[in-house]
Amino acid sequence: MIGFIKKDIAMIKSNFKLLGILFIAFTIMGLFGKMDISFILAFMSVMIMISTFSYDNYNKWDAYALTLPNSRKNNVKSKYITTILMILIVSIITIILSFIISYINVKTINYEQIFISMLDTIFGTLLVLSFMYPIIYKFGIEKARIGIFFIVFLLVAIGGFLSQYLDLSLITKLLLSIENYLALILIILSIIIVYVSYKISERIFNKKEF
Amino acid sequence: MENILEIKNLCKKYDNFELKNVTFNLPKGMIMGFIGENGAGKTTTIKAILNIIKSNHEELKIFGLDNCKDEEKIKEEIGVVLDDMFFPEILTPNDINNIMKSIYKTWDSKMFNNYLKKFSLLSNNQIKTFSKGMRKKLEIITALSHHPKLLILDEPTSGLDPIARTEIINIFQNFIENGDCSILFSTHITTDLEHIADYITFINNGKIILSKPTNELLDNYGIVKCTEKEFKNINKKDYIKYQKTKYEYEILIENKKDFKTKYDISIIDKITLDDLMVLMIKGEE
């Protein structure tokens, strides 16, 4: 399995220059625009991981991988592990950058706020990716890309529509009541969501023919 | 003789195509040419052997092991080149070396690097900068560098110029020199095979129509060229297929010696695999 992880990391590495430029650009935006830099994490993680699927698809890697030992078991697993590894690395970089930006802008560092904001973003990113992976494994990256765009659009539209008619104070109250446990709840929820998504993707991949 | 690959009644059904009871064996130490026109079922058969697609079969054994139950064990010892399927092209040969070290227990970095030098493939260049021939060579040396006992190659020479093809054929010949290794080699460029294949298996429309030692095939089979009058005197049992050309009849026969004793026709040409394919597919019964 380590071989498969190495393969994804090697692909990400070959895009290092582009990633570096993006990081610098976002940092500058964070410095001047006081934008929440944890947004970088979500955006870049999704972009990086989707690009690995695109490269895999273009060169029919999945079919080739099945000729290698241990592939059915490890192909999907390694993708999830790479994703988590990458989110961790990007998180660490983002936290360091957030400290720097926060210090330069307001001369103090609000640790708690940065960590909570990071945790929210990590949770959001994992949620999006966990939702996307089974769709990508089922339909392939090309179709999935259009499908995901459509579904996100639909969800936003439904959300927007409902928010006009529903009383959101209940949700706000609920969130406030669990505020003290929010970090713990988000971590547990993340683990459950990623695990369920992994199991679904694994099942899809095991049945897949190339 | 011990078989390294045994396939019995392999079936696979798609909407518009079907593999029907594919059966053949590859003896140890031999190169088998797997021939047939495009769309005949070569790639589907190879994918079924590798368990990339699910199939129904009575028996599908590699090294005497079941291709599904013992998949991991088998895949440690086979090298595969598939048509158009490989590592993502933004990777470099160095990346491949690094990745394969963690995939195969027996990966030989030294061998891989020696091959890279031998074929002038730059280890730090991305695959996308390589020509088609260079990519194929890289795929082949990747398949070879963990000392496999069986190579399964799907069209490894298609789209290559004669020089690259010769180089690649030489690699295969070196590979089987020690007698323990075997190759299943699918192609529609049959001239490559006449020099190196010990066995020929011919698939047409999802069915195996012939699987024989190459010598037996090239020595015994022949093409009789005769007039319409002569053709009408030949018993249907004595030929496999025939086709009418502008000036004569071309008749595919299975045994030149027997034919000569029965009929007084002097023109019996030696057969090439190309002739065999054309007559088998296009000829009439």
DSSP string, B117-154: HHTT--TTS-GGGS-HHHHHHHHHHHHHTT--SEEEEE
Contacts of B207 by beta carbon, 8 Å cutoff, 6+ apart: B20, B21, B22, B41
Return mean pLDDT, chain B. 89
Last residue of a domain, one of B192, B213, B234: B213
Q: Which of B155, B164, B163, B160 is nearest to B193 (CA)?
A: B155
Q: What is the mean pLDDT of residues B153-179?
A: 84
Looking at the fold, whether B29 and B154 belong to one and the same domain comes out as: yes
> Tens digit of pLDDT for each residue in B46-65?
999 999 999 999 999 999 99
Query: How far, in Å, CA of B181 to CA of B175, rounded?
Result: 7
Query: How far, in Å, CA of B238 to CA of B236, rounded?
Result: 5
Q: Cα distance from B135 to chain A (closest Cα, Å)?
A: 12
- How many A-B residue pairs are in contact by the CB < 8 A criterion? 86
> Tens digit of pLDDT for each residue in B88-139?
999 999 999 999 999 999 999 999 999 999 889 999 999 999 988 889 899 9
User: What's the distance, Cα to Cα, between the start and end of chain B in Å?
Assistant: 34
Q: Give the pLDDT confidence score for residue A97 in this predicted structure.
A: 81
Q: Give the pLDDT confidence score for residue B153 in this predicted structure.
A: 93
The label of the residue with tokens 């529609």 reads B188
* Structure-derived torsion over alpha carbons of residues B132, B134, B135, B140, reported in degrees to the nearest 10: 130
Looking at the fold, whether B266 and B181 belong to one and the same domain comes out as: no
Q: Give the pLDDT confidence score for residue B187 in this predicted structure.
A: 87
Using a CB-CB cut-off of 8 Å, the residues of chain B touching A70 are: 72, 75, 103
- Residues constituting chain B: 285
Q: How is residue A36 annotated by DSSP? A: -
Q: Which of B30, B275, B283, B273 is nearest to B151 (CA)?
A: B30
| Domain residue limits, chain A | 2-207
> Tens digit of pLDDT for each residue in A98-146?
888 778 777 777 777 778 788 888 888 888 889 889 999 999 888 888 8
Looking at the fold, whether B171 and B277 belong to one and the same domain comes out as: no
Looking at the fold, whether B241 and B129 belong to one and the same domain comes out as: no
Using a CB-CB cut-off of 8 Å, the residues of chain A touching B126 are: 14
**Residue in B85, B86, B91 closest to A10 by CB:** B91
Find out whether B57 and B37 touch, Cβ atoms under 8 Å: no
Q: The domain containing residue B201 runs over which residues? A: 3-213
Question: B103–A64: do the CB atoms touch at under 8 Å?
Answer: no
Burial level of A158, CB count in 10 A (0-12/13-18/19+)?
exposed
Looking at the fold, whether B160 and B185 belong to one and the same domain comes out as: yes
Looking at the fold, whether B66 and B94 belong to one and the same domain comes out as: yes
Closest B-chain CA to A15: B90
Find out whether B112 and B141 touch, Cβ atoms under 8 Å: yes
pLDDT of residue B24 exceeding 80, the answer is yes
Q: Does A105 lie at the interface with B, CB-CB under 8 angstroms?
A: no
Question: A7–B78: do the CB atoms touch at under 8 Å?
Answer: no
Give, in order, the Cα–Cα distances in Å from B250 to each of A67, B148, B237.
43, 43, 16
Report residue A109: phi and psi, to 5°. Answer: -115, 120
| Structure ipTM | 0.85
Q: Does B69 lie at the interface with A, CB-CB under 8 angstroms?
A: no
Residue B194: Cβ within 10 Å count: 15
Sheet of B78-81, strand order? B78-81, B150-154, B182-187, B31-35, B199-204, B207-213
The secondary element (H helix, E strand) that includes residue A19 is: helix A16-33
Q: Cα distance from A145 to chain B (closest Cα, Å)?
A: 19
> Tens digit of pLDDT for each residue in A191-206?
999 999 999 999 999 9
Hey, of B65, B91, B92, B105, which one would you mutate to test binding to chain A, going by the most A CBs within 10 A of its CB? Answer: B91
Q: Does A160 lie at the interface with B, CB-CB under 8 angstroms?
A: no
Residue B202: Cβ within 10 Å count: 23
Hey, of A67, A72, A81, which one would you mutate to test binding to chain B, going by the most B CBs within 10 A of its CB? Answer: A67
Question: A11–B54: do the CB atoms touch at under 8 Å?
Answer: no
Looking at the fold, whether B141 and B13 belong to one and the same domain comes out as: yes
Q: Cα distance from A11 to chain B (closest Cα, Å)?
A: 6
Q: Does A17 lie at the interface with B, CB-CB under 8 angstroms?
A: no
Give, in order, the Cα–Cα distances in Å from B272 to each of A23, B13, B160, B240.
63, 32, 21, 15
Looking at the fold, whether B237 and B104 belong to one and the same domain comes out as: no
Closest B-chain CA to A1: B103
Looking at the fold, whether B162 and B250 belong to one and the same domain comes out as: no
Find out whether A37 and A98 touch, Cβ atoms under 8 Å: yes
Looking at the fold, whether B197 and B233 belong to one and the same domain comes out as: no
3-state secondary structure of B12: strand
Residue A146: Cβ within 10 Å count: 10
Q: Give the pLDDT confidence score for residue B13 in this predicted structure.
A: 92
CA atoms A61, A66, A69, A75: torsion sign: positive
Q: What is the CA radius of gyration of chain A?
A: 19
Question: B75–A4: do the CB atoms touch at under 8 Å?
Answer: no
Question: B91–A14: do the CB atoms touch at under 8 Å?
Answer: yes
**Residue in A15, A55, A64 closest to B85 by CB:** A64
Q: Does A58 lie at the interface with B, CB-CB under 8 angstroms?
A: yes
**B120 token code pair:** 């002038």
Q: How many domains are there within chain B?
A: 2
Query: How far, in Å, CA of B133 to CA of B218, rounded?
Result: 30
Positions of E strands within chain B: 3-13, 18-27, 31-35, 59-62, 65-66, 78-81, 150-154, 182-187, 199-204, 207-213, 222-226, 241-244, 249-253, 268-270
Residue B117: Cβ within 10 Å count: 10
Looking at the fold, whether B135 and B98 belong to one and the same domain comes out as: yes
**Residue in A11, A66, A69 closest to B76 by CB:** A69
Query: How far, in Å, CA of B92 to CA of A14, rounded?
Result: 9
Question: B99–A7: do the CB atoms touch at under 8 Å?
Answer: yes
Q: List the Cα angle A85/A90/A93 in 5-degree steps.
A: 130
Find out whether B81 and B120 touch, Cβ atoms under 8 Å: no
Query: How far, in Å, CA of A43 to CA of A29, rounded?
Result: 14
The CATH number covering residue B98 comes to 3.40.50.300
Q: What is the mean pLDDT of residues B273-278?
A: 86
Q: Which residues of B119-129 are buried (b: 16+ CB within 10 A; e: fewer)?
A: bebeeeeebee
Q: Cα distance from A93 to chain B (closest Cα, Å)?
A: 25
Question: B78–A61: do the CB atoms touch at under 8 Å?
Answer: no
Looking at the fold, whether B50 and B103 belong to one and the same domain comes out as: yes
Last residue of a domain, one of B213, B234, B269: B213
> Tens digit of pLDDT for each residue in B218-265?
888 888 888 887 887 788 788 888 888 888 888 888 887 787 787 777
Q: Which of A62, A71, A83 is nearest to A128 (CA)?
A: A83
3-state secondary structure of A186: helix
> Tens digit of pLDDT for each residue in A14-55?
877 777 887 788 778 777 765 667 776 677 778 888 889 999
Q: Cα distance from B96 to chain A (closest Cα, Å)?
A: 8
pLDDT interval class at B80 (50, 70, 90) = very high
Q: Give the pLDDT confidence score for residue A167 in this predicted structure.
A: 66
